[in-house]
Structure 1
Amino acid sequence: MTDLDLLTRTLARSVKHWRAVRGFTLDVLAARAGVSRGMLIQIEQARTNPSIGTVVKIGDALGVSVTTLLDYAQGPKVRVVPAEQAVRLWHTDAGSYNRLLAGTEAPGPLEMWDWRLMPGERSPSDPHPAGTVELVHVTAGELTLTVDGTEHRVPSGASAALEADTPHVYGNDGEVPMEMVMAVSVPPVR
């Protein structure tokens, strides 16, 4: 796949994702961005490579940056944040601290879950509504996160963010219990 193909597919996925998160129809986004509905359809189907001006208009209308729309380094569905990349925002000499483990742009209801999976166990999940995102932080063991058939290893101390509108499975392929904290953000019904 060429860089241009990757960029075109990334833009298609991002525009569809953020349009769903914002609850915009094609017509609403077209009106807000000043871009034709036909152009948006071509972009969402990865059939065109729009000008940067068009991408800026769409990003502005969705309330996200061009970087967010074109960030193909994250991959199509999952971004794993290694433990050493967590950002320590505050600390004291006595040893207190907080760390930003992982984040994502998402409005609507937010749930936090505590999970424990014993060795060899799996928990499959059907796709959630479009725009649903999940954040997981593994506190013990190793999570095998399978999204759209692709496995991602998330070791203890690491975090991951995923778009949860596709089939996904939480698994423990290790020999010790896996424990994680999970936050789920579902877009509001509009």
Structure 2
Amino acid sequence: MDGSAAALATVIGARVRRERLSRAWTLDQLADTAGVSRRMVVSVEQGEVNPSVGTLLRLSDALGIGLPALVEPPQVATVKITRRGEGATLWSGEHGGQGVLVAGTAPPDVVELWDWTLAPGDAHVSDAHTPGTKELIQVQQGSITVTIGDQSATLRVGDAMTFGGDVSHSYVNAGGRPARFSLAVFEPGVGSGAPQTGGA
């Protein structure tokens, strides 16, 4: 991990531990509720790993706090501004792309706003999110191919798409130029005790 990724991993680990202890949960209880291994929970809490977005979603959903609350500092004010470069980079592609969480709301109905870039050849594959999750995409640069279950569509500059994120899906840049898109994710009922399927 580079310095910024290591710093983010440390912050996330401290928040997971604080939230777990505030519920008087053991490591095993959190692992079971989130559907991840005990070893992963330990590694996350100690800041030793840069967990996948799917793992972070499972942990934040299990704790009932939503992904934005896990990666952002607590806010007292009703208005929060994320300046350019201040978002949490939660995914890095093999060829240089990034998934940056730039804004989000508190549970129970969590909305996340992402700024994604995919370098040529980059692909992000996601498991299904929790039931009822919706995703909205709009392409600002280049083109991407989005696959939801067994359906695929290529989106170009200005194109937008809405789909259910509670099935497996992927974003791929099969072109020769970098692609950039905004992604909004709506995840209802976070912390309501619904079974967790994870995803990203």
Name the TM tier (shorter chain): 0.3 to 0.5
Length-normalised TM-score, structure 2 = 0.41
Q: Which has the larger radius of gyration?
A: 1
Length-normalised TM-score, structure 1 = 0.43
Structure richer in helix, relative to its length: 1
